[in-house]
Amino acid sequence: MCGGKDATVLFSGLRRQASTAPNDETFRRAYIEAMNAPCKSDLDRLQAAFEGQRSAFSFDAVPGISTRRMKLRDLVRAIRARRSGIVDAISADFGNRSADETLSAEIAVTIGSIEHTCRHLDRWANPTRMFNLGIPIPGRTYVRHEPKGVVGVISPWNYPFQLAVIPAATALAGGNKVLVKPSEFTPRTAELLAQLFADVYGEDEVAVVTGGPDVGKAFSELAFDHLFFTGSTEVGRKVAMAAAENLTPVTLELGGKSPCVMMPDADPEKHAPLVAFGKFYSGGQTCVAPDYLLVPKGRAEAFSAAIIDAARRTWPAPATDDGYTSIITDRHHDRLAAMIDEARDAGLTVLSAGDAAPDARRIPPTVVIGPAPDSRLMTEEIFGPILPIIEYDDLDDAVRFVTARDHPLALYAFGRDARAAEKLVARTTSGGAVVNGTIVHLAVEHLPFGGVGKSGYGAYHGKRGFAEFTHARSVLVLPQWPILRDTIVRPDGRRMRWLTDWMIGK
Ligand code: NAD
């Protein structure tokens, strides 16, 4: 038997049986057997996994808070045990990615997130008592934080571990079942994710399905109870439209062009290294990387020299394993190389941290001074190690430049006077913002992380993530006082009229 259509039919039959014997062990055994059988295709396996999780959610008891926490701690242990495997898989998927980048941005951030969740889970998951003055409706009130059901997680290639595991773990903390679809560009990491989850969870709790856009499309058409998508704005729009058919709530974690603004008092020596770090980390393939840099008039050369100098110091041995991260595919590499060629052809100043790429898919950190607003560098999300630098006349001009464009995922402002930089932040909109730093806000677990406008909607991390994956269900327990009953249901309605008049006021 195959874990595909046959399994789907089997599940429908078993569901019917299970309605009389919900916890029937036969159901679980048949499910596991079907899932382990070879599949006809990714799409069949997807359908089978979804059906299986739906059934499991409908008929199994929701795991208690202590069970959820225990399993999340087991997951952390499994991640620690597999750390070198994760480093190797991601590096092999990219061509090269330094162990330091994977250990910090994938493994440490993910473990930090899960441990934060474990520490706070009781407070987030237990019913929240609400203070009720009793006017006009008396009674006990509280909010239950219930699992939504089966959650779908579609993840991208650029941080293929943390962007799959953190949303999945947060959804599991909420008591949900989770189906994960990683990117087709990181197959070794996808395989490892499947093994990692299998260390701790049954496939009726977490399953990983693989495939490209066709599987992604079919995935987003399933009637999930919540769909969590991380990826491009273009695909995010398609996912939201598919989910709308089922009225599935969606979180969209998208990209965009995140600006970085140097205030008039910013210092190249002090601030440029932090820009270089956030921009060129992981080959610039970071959703929150600064996409372009705005500097005061006359200072582009000073800042570009300082940024290139900082990049050289940060990646002193570009060709080694600890050197630049490779661009994920030849296609992505060629697109970036074409952008640099276009800038050179336009006669712009192009500075590079290295003369030649150490191998076919690594691009040295590069800055381009003054690209035209309608160039690809200034209209497309760059998502690679190229930083356009644009000069502004005054801060009003800088603010206009930022606010005339789509709302970005992040905004960075640098200046010796941090308060002044905060004022600039307040005059703009973005998913998140950092003053005097770049990209590290992603690792501050108690800060909600998400976009706004074209950079997405919804958010996760910490308590906000738990709220995203749970349903806040209000409960009112009315006292059984005759006076209350008579007020509500009395046929002549006199008390109700008095009450409504009092509520409306004079
Ligand atoms: P992508 O949108 O091309 O792909 C993301 C995922 O969607 C992949 O798993 C892919 O297989 C799947 N997919 C493709 N077509 C689909 C369809 N029609 N329906 C459903 N799913 C489909 O993005 P990418 O190239 O993997 O990642 C880069 C983008 O992701 C950048 O724009 C970046 O800014 C963004 N990103 C955002 C965040 C964030 O947290 N906001 C984080 C990382 C990356």
DSSP codes of every residue in 399-439: HHHHHTSPPPSEEEEE-SSHHHHHHHHHTS--SEEEES--S
Amino acid (one-letter) located at 473: R
Structural domains present in the chain: 62-253 (3.40.605.10), 259-450 (3.40.309.10), 480-504 (no CATH)
Residue 106 a catalytic site member: no
Q: Would you say 361 and 336 are in contact if contact means Cβ atoms under 8 Å apart?
A: no
CA distance 467 to 145: 8
- Contact partners, residue 107, CB within 8 Å, separation at least 6: 79, 83, 86, 87, 161
The reply to whether ligand 1 has any atom less than 6 angstroms from the CB of 156 is yes
Contacts 24+ apart (CB under 8 A), 236-240: 236/456, 239/154
CA distance 345 to 220: 42
pLDDT in tens, 140-151: 999 999 999 999
Question: Residue 316 corresponds to which tokens in the numbers above?
Answer: 């002193």
Q: What is the pTM of this model?
A: 0.92
Distances from the Cα of 278 to the Cα of 106, 113, 183, 238, 330, angstroms = 15, 20, 23, 29, 23
Give backbone dihedrals phi and psi of 482, rounded to 5 degrees, phi first: -55, -40
Residues in a beta bridge with 435: 413
The reply to whether ligand 1 has any atom less than 6 angstroms from the CB of 364 is no
Select which of 260, 287, 391, 445 is catalytic.
Answer: 287
Place of tokens 């080959």: 283
pLDDT in tens, 45-89: 999 999 999 999 999 889 999 999 999 999 999 999 999 999 999
- Contact partners, residue 80, CB within 8 Å, separation at least 6: 111
- Contact partners, residue 320, CB within 8 Å, separation at least 6: none
- Tell how far the Cα of 443 is from the centroid of ligand 1, in angstroms: 20
**Whole-number average pLDDT of the chain:** 92
- Tell how far the Cα of 230 is from the centroid of ligand 1, in angstroms: 5
Mutate to test the pocket of ligand 1, among 153, 154, 285 (most ligand atoms within 8 A of CB): 154
3-class DSSP assignment, residue 106:
helix
- Tell how far the Cα of 380 is from the centroid of ligand 1, in angstroms: 15
Q: What is the DSSP letter of 476?
A: E
E strands, 277-378, are 290-296, 349-352, 366-369
Q: H-helix or E-strand containing 497?
A: helix 494-504
Residue 9 pLDDT exceeds 60: no
3-class DSSP assignment, residue 391:
strand
Residue 287 a catalytic site member: yes
Residues in a beta bridge with 456: 253
pLDDT of residue 22: 41
- Contact partners, residue 9, CB within 8 Å, separation at least 6: none
3-class DSSP assignment, residue 477:
strand
Amino acid (one-letter) located at 87: V
> Which range among 107-116, 347-356, 399-408 shows the weakest confidence by mean pLDDT?
347-356
The reply to whether ligand 1 has any atom less than 6 angstroms from the CB of 241 is no
Amino acid (one-letter) located at 118: C
| Cis peptide bond upstream of 136, omega within 30 | yes
Give backbone dihedrals phi and psi of 254, rounded to 5 degrees, phi first: -110, -170
Ligand 1, atom nearest to 381 Cα: 32
| Selected residue with higher pLDDT from 352 and 17 | 352
pLDDT in tens, 366-415: 999 999 999 999 999 999 999 999 999 999 999 999 999 999 999 999 99
CA distance 410 to 280: 16
Residues in a beta bridge with 474: 143
Residue 337 pLDDT exceeds 70: yes
- Tell how far the Cα of 464 is from the centroid of ligand 1, in angstroms: 22
> What is the average per-residue pLDDT within 14-32?
50
- Contact partners, residue 279, CB within 8 Å, separation at least 6: 260, 289, 290, 307, 365, 385, 387, 438
pLDDT in tens, 174-216: 999 999 999 999 999 999 999 999 999 999 999 999 999 999 9
Handedness of CA 59, 65, 69, 72 (dihedral sign): positive
The reply to whether ligand 1 has any atom less than 6 angstroms from the CB of 381 is yes
By percentage, how much of the chain surpasses pLDDT 70?
91
Degrees, nearest 5: CA angle 435-439-441? 70
pLDDT in tens, 421-456: 999 999 999 999 999 999 999 999 999 999 999 999
Ligand 1, atom nearest to 409 Cα: 41
Mutate to test the pocket of ligand 1, among 94, 158, 234, 455 (most ligand atoms within 8 A of CB): 158
DSSP-based helix, strand, coil % in the chain, nearest 5:
50, 15, 35
Question: Would you give the end-to-end CA distance of the chain in angstroms?
Answer: 73
The reply to whether ligand 1 has any atom less than 6 angstroms from the CB of 216 is yes
- Tell how far the Cα of 442 is from the centroid of ligand 1, in angstroms: 18
